Structure 1
Amino acid sequence: MRILPIITAPFALIACSAGAEPEMQTSPSGEVSGTMFVANKRGASLSRIDLSTGEETHRADTCENPHELTVSPDESFVLVACYSGRSVEIFSTSDLTPVGPLQLGENARVHSAIWLDDGRVLAGAEGRGSLYVIAAFMDRGAIAPIVSFREIGRGGPPFAPGPHLIAVDPGGRYAYGTIIPNGDVIRYDIENSAEAASRRIGEQIEAVAISPDGTSLWVASNTDSIAYRLDPLTLEVQAEVPTGDVPIRLAMHPSGDFVVSSNYGGGDLTVIHTATNEAVRTIIVSGNDDAAQVTLVFSQDGTRLYAAETATDMIAEIDFASGEVLRRLPTGPGGDGLAVID
C-alpha cells in the first residue's frame, strides 16, 4: 500500500520593486508543449489534450456535472470534482484510466478540490457547508476501501452553504473558501480542523486566488465587478480594484506579480499588478458574453493563459505578454475545469 502523492503546483517567485511594474514574460520560441485536462460539465467527461498539436488524445466518462480539476505533484493523476454528487474521481494522466472514486457525505456537491504535498486532498463540500480533508491510500494503482477523512464545517443538517471555490496557502496550513450566496470568505485552519475566521466581503463572492508567498489573498464580486485584496489572516479588505463585467475566476501568475480576472460578462481579462493594486491592462478574448468564459489557468511558466469558453466548447490559448489569442482548442461539451502540466 502506498500513499498517493499529492500537492499544488510549485511556484516561482520573481521579485520586483514596489510600485514598479515588472516586465511581462515572453512566450518561449518553438512549439508549445505540455498536456491540458478539461472537465466537460455538459458532457460528463474528462478530456486530455496534447498542447503540441492541440488535439484531444483521450476522453473518459466521469460523474455528472464535473467541474474543477487538480493534478498530483508527480503529474501521474488528475482529480475531478463532482458538483452534482457526493464524490471526487481520480484518473491517470497518461491515458485517463479511471483509478476510482472517493465517496463523501450525502449532498457533498464538491465544486473544487486541491491536492496537498502531505498526502491529503482538500475538497469544498458546497452542499454540506464544509471542507473535507481527505487521505487517499492507494493499493496496486487503485483506491483502497479504507479512506480516512475529516470534515470542517458549521454543522447540520440543515446545512449552510459551503465553499464554491477554495485556495490554500503555500504552507498548507490555511485554506480559504468563498460562499457565493452570503458573499463570505472563510479561512479554515486545516491542522486544527476549525473555521478560524469569516468575513462578509460583498455580493456574490466567487473567485479566489492567493499569492505564491501567501501574503495576499484575492477574491472577486460577480455582482459589483470588483477584485478585493484581503489580509490572509484577518480577511480585512486592503484594496479594491475594478475589473471587467462578472469576474467569475481569478488566476495568480506564478511570479505573484499579477492576478488576472476572467470576466464572464465581457469575454475579456483584467490584469492587475499586485505591487500597486491597479488594473494595468485588458485582454480581449471573445469580447462578449456569448462564449460563457469561465475557468482561467496559467501555464506553469506563466507565458500562456488558458480560458474556458464553455458555450462554444473551446479553450482559448492566450499569449500573456502580447494578449494575443494564439488558437482555440476544441474540447467536449461545456469544457470548464482546467489543469495544465508541462
Structure 2
Amino acid sequence: MRRGAMLVGGLVFTLLLAALPGWVTGQPGKAILEKHCGGCHPLERAVSKEQSAEAWAATIERMRNFGSDISRRQARELAQYLAQAATRPKAPVAYVVNEDIHEIWAIEMTTRRIVAKIGVGQHPHGIALSPDGRFAYVPNMASNNVSIIDTERNVVIGTLEAGKNAHDAAVTPDGKYTLVTNPSDGTVSVFETAVHPGSQHVHHVLGTITVGRTPHIVEVSPDGRTAWVTNMDSGDLSILDIAGRREIARVPLGKGPHAIAVSPDGKRLWVGLYDEGQVVVMETGTRQIVARTPVGRNPYAMAFAPDGKTAWVSNEGSDSLSVLDAGSGAVIAEVTGIREPHGLAFAPAG
C-alpha cells in the first residue's frame, strides 16, 4: 500500500488499489500501438521505455522495413505518443469486488468514475494485484476458481482452478506465487504467476497445502518466503513455507481469527478475532503473542497506514473502525458511523 487516503468497502467485499498507466484512455497513438504492435510486444513495456520521439521514429521505421503496415502518418503519431507515455502521470484506479452481481469495478480515483465493469466468476470475494499491477487475481467462491484480469485492458484473460469456496488471495512480492484460501476444503491453493524472460507471464496450478478448518485470509511476508493463514473454525493460524508448499507450524489464537496484516518490517503479525472482538499481535520470529487488544465487534479486515505507525481495523458488527498504535497495540482512535465496514485499503500517493 502507498501513502494516501483510506478507502473502506461497505457493500463491497474488498478493495485494492493500482496505479495504472495513464495511457489507458482512448488516444490515436494507443489505438495504433494496440493494432500494429500489441501482438508481439507487451504494451506496458513499450510505453515505459523512455526515449525521444526521434528515437522512436527510427525504431518504427525499422519495423516498417521489416514489413509492418504502419503508414508514415501513423508512425509519426505513434512516435510522439510513445515519447510522452513514459512521463505521463499515472491514473490511480481502485478495483472493487461486487459479490452479488459477479463483477469487478475499476474506479478512477481522481474522478471517482467507473471506467470498467468486469464480469468474473460466481460470487467473487477477495482480490490481489501482481507487483507490477499488470494482473489482478480474483477468487470466485461459487465457481471454485480464480479469474485473471489484465488490468491494461480490464478484461478476464483466463481462470485457474482452485478449491471449494475460493475466498482470499495474496501474491508474493516478486510475483512468482499467488496463494488462494479454500474454506470448504481446509486448503490453500498455490499458483505460479511468474514473469519469465521476454516479459511473458505464466499462470498455472502448482498444488495445494492442507491447513486448519475454514481458512479465510492469507498474508505474505515482505520477503516472500512465508505465508500466514487464519483458520476461523479451528481458531488458529497456519504458517506456510511457500516455496516448499507445506505447513510448517500452527499457532492457537482464539475464536474466529479472520483479519490479518503484517507490519511493514515483517516483525509482527496482527490478527483480528472475529468472534471475540479482539486483535492479537504475534512476533513473527518467536511466534509468541505479545498483545491482545479489544476493538469493535466482528473485526473483519485490517491494514497498516503507509507510514507503518498505525493499524486500522474494520469492525463489521459495530459499524466502526479502530485505529491502533503499531508500537503498543493500543487503540488510539475510533471512527464511527460507517455501516458494516468490510474490506479496506490505503490509496496510493496523490
Structure 2 residue identity aligned to 1:338: L
Q: Please name the residue that 1:132 is paired with.
A: 147
Q: Please name the residue that 1:23 is paired with.
A: none
Give the drift of 1:118: 4.9
CA 1:238–1:119 in 2, change beyond 3 Å: closer, same or farther?
A: same
Q: Please name the residue that 1:102 is paired with.
A: 118
In structure 1, how many angstroms separate the alpha carbons of the residues matched to 2:220 and 2:343?
18
Structure 2 residue identity aligned to 1:311: G
Residue pair 2:6, 2:346 contacting (<8 A) in 1 also? yes
Q: Please name the residue that 1:83 is paired with.
A: 99
Q: Please name the residue that 1:36 is paired with.
A: 6
Q: Please name the residue that 2:320 is paired with.
A: 314
Structure 2 residue identity aligned to 1:249: A
Equivalent residue in structure 2 for 1:220, among 212, 230, 242: 230
Larger Rg: 2
CA 1:306–1:75 in 2, change beyond 3 Å: closer, same or farther?
A: farther
In structure 2, how many angstroms separate the alpha carbons of the residues matched to 1:206 and 1:39?
18
1:285 aligns with 2:295: yes
Mean Cα deviation higher: 257-266 or 277-286? 277-286
1:185 aligns with 2:201: no
Residue pair 1:241, 1:279 contacting (<8 A) in 2 also? no
In structure 1, how many angstroms separate the alpha carbons of the residues matched to 2:204 and 2:165?
14
TM normalised by structure 2 equals 0.72
Structure 2 residue identity aligned to 1:101: K
Residue pair 1:242, 1:279 contacting (<8 A) in 2 also? no
In structure 2, how many angstroms separate the alpha carbons of the residues matched to 1:82 and 1:189?
26
- Higher strand proportion, which one? 1
CA 1:327–1:242 in 2, change beyond 3 Å: closer, same or farther?
A: same
Summarize the alignment of residues 295-314 of structure 1 with structure 2, pairs less than 5 Å apart. Answer: 295-314=301-320
Equivalent residue in structure 1 for 2:217, among 178, 192, 207: 207
The 3-state SS of whatever aligns with 1:67 is coil
Give the drift of 1:309: 1.0
The 3-state SS of whatever aligns with 1:218 is strand
Spell out, residue by residue over 1:84-120, the C-alpha distance to the aligned partner (whole angstroms, 9 max, x if none).
2321011122352222211224x2x111112221521
Q: % of aligned pairs identical?
A: 21
Aligned residues: 270
Residue pair 1:284, 1:323 contacting (<8 A) in 2 also? no
Structure 1 residue identity aligned to 2:104: V
- Higher helix proportion, which one? 2
In structure 2, how many angstroms separate the alpha carbons of the residues matched to 1:128 and 1:134?
16
1:152 aligns with 2:160: yes
Structure 2 residue identity aligned to 1:69: L
Q: Please name the residue that 1:51 is paired with.
A: none
Give the gaps of 5 or more residues in structure 2. 20-89, 195-201
Give the drift of 1:82: 1.5
- What CA RMSD, in Å, does the superposition of the two structures yield over aligned residues? 2.0
Residue pair 2:259, 2:299 contacting (<8 A) in 1 also? no
Q: Please name the residue that 1:123 is paired with.
A: 138
CA 1:206–1:148 in 2, change beyond 3 Å: closer, same or farther?
A: closer
Spell out, residue by residue over 1:27-71, the C-alpha distance to the aligned partner (whole angstroms, 9 max, x if none).
xxxxxx841111112xxxxxxxxxxxxxxxxxxxxxxxx111100
Q: Please name the residue that 1:161 is paired with.
A: 164
Give the gaps of 5 or more residues in structure 1. 1-8, 11-32, 42-65, 155-159
Residue pair 2:293, 2:331 contacting (<8 A) in 1 also? no
In structure 2, how many angstroms separate the alpha carbons of the residues matched to 1:177 and 1:205?
10
TM superposition outliers: structure 1 runs of 4+ over 3 Å: none
In structure 2, how many angstroms separate the alpha carbons of the residues matched to 1:301 and 1:224?
33
Give the drift of 1:257: 0.8
Structure 2 residue identity aligned to 1:197: G
The 3-state SS of whatever aligns with 2:222 is coil
1:71 aligns with 2:71: no
Give the drift of 1:339: 0.7
CA 1:269–1:75 in 2, change beyond 3 Å: closer, same or farther?
A: farther
Structure 1 residue identity aligned to 2:285: A
In structure 2, how many angstroms separate the alpha carbons of the residues matched to 1:229 and 1:204?
15
In structure 1, how many angstroms separate the alpha carbons of the residues matched to 2:287 and 2:339?
36
Mean Cα deviation higher: 238-247 or 172-181? 238-247
Residue pair 1:130, 1:153 contacting (<8 A) in 2 also? yes
TM normalised by structure 1 equals 0.74
In structure 1, how many angstroms separate the alpha carbons of the residues matched to 2:9 and 2:331?
21
Structure 2 residue identity aligned to 1:184: T
The 3-state SS of whatever aligns with 1:112 is coil
CA 1:181–1:75 in 2, change beyond 3 Å: closer, same or farther?
A: farther
In structure 2, how many angstroms separate the alpha carbons of the residues matched to 1:96 and 1:83?
20
In structure 1, how many angstroms separate the alpha carbons of the residues matched to 2:111 and 2:251?
42
